[in-house]
Chain A
């Protein structure tokens, strides 16, 4: 498993929101027609700026870049570094866009810029969340509950009880 990026908090950063997997086609004045190939958002570009890192911290970045084979390796980044920006997940996979750059300030202090991009970002999945609903007592029935073609109305119960349960068997 690749070494995660060290938990060093940047002083500032810039980023974009990545690209959806959408292509466009147009011809003879028709279109563009847009095709969505999957539900991933990938390619978010991050630039992390560190100011006056000490020797131990800059060595962590140097070592991480080396262990991950430079721009070839893949790694994860601790979510806490993004200060609450909800742009990627802890499972998102990053790669260095280019080698980190250092400015040596003297006194063993360094300004460092790290550019990285996401190669596997987030997949847009919708999760049905039932909340804290409790399982009520089951009600047996002996006849088909959905018959005919009329619209069926599902009447909800109190919010602390599940309204509808779908069991596979």
Chain B
């Protein structure tokens, strides 16, 4: 039996991959992850989704679905980030 409790769609999963030739981007993501992680929701800058035509429920925010993954070859740093859309709440 399926029970629909409300009409809000959430728990969207968004996977972003960043490729850089320096560690600066990775360190920025790490600093953000350590303060937000799965606890404190945050807004995603519009520039991140620019051109994708994706829209989400207004006021909804993201948390990290899991720890970011990093592949480090000297000169090529790849960071994979998975985000989860959640209903807004105050910390």
Write the residues of chain A forming the contact surface with B, with a CB cutoff of 8 angstroms: 11-20, 22, 24, 29, 34, 36, 41, 44, 82-87, 122, 124
Contacts and interface: CB of A to CB of B under 8 A. Distances in A.
Nearest to B74: A83
Given A29-B5, A124-B35, A85 B27 contact: yes
Main secondary structure of the interface of B (DSSP, over half): mixed
B61 interface: no
What class of interface size applies to chain B in its complex with A? 20 to 34
A14 B79 CA distance: 10
Interface of B: 5, 23, 26-27, 29-31, 33-35, 37-39, 66-74, 77
Contacts of A82: 72
A19 B67 contact: yes
Nearest to A18: B67
Contacts of B66: 16
A88 B27 CA distance: 11
A85 B71 contact: no
Nearest to B86: A32
12 contacts: A14-B70, A15-B72, A17-B34, A17-B67, A20-B34, A24-B38, A44-B67, A84-B23, A84-B27, A86-B30, A86-B31, A122-B34
B76 to A, nearest CB: 9
Nearest to A39: B34
Contacts of B33: 17, 41
Contacts of B23: 83-86
Contacts of B39: 20, 22, 34, 36
A12 B73 contact: yes
Nearest to A28: B5
B72 A83 contact: yes
B29 to A, nearest CB: 8
